[in-house]
Amino acid sequence: MNKSNVIVSGLLCVVIILVAYSIILNPPQITPTIEEISKTTKTVVTREEA
């Protein structure tokens, strides 16, 4: 049980590090997705208000 927990935690750490590196190295690719998400949320809010 302990070995499996260590392996899972290690994999999670590696995934977090890879995500952090991708965010640091490729900010222009991530900002458009954030803008698209904000636009979709705004459209959803306006639809709910209307």
Domain spans of the chain, in order of start: 2-49
Structure confidence at residue 21 (pLDDT): 84
The tokens describing 35, both together, are 């803008």
Cβ(32)–Cβ(38) below 8 Å: no
Residue-wise pLDDT tens digits, 2-50: 888 888 899 998 999 988 887 777 665 556 677 777 787 777 667 666 5
Q: What share of the chain is helix, strand, coil (3-state, %, to 5)?
A: 95, 0, 5
Q: How many CA atoms lie within 13 A of 6 on its CB side?
A: 3
Cβ(1)–Cβ(8) below 8 Å: no
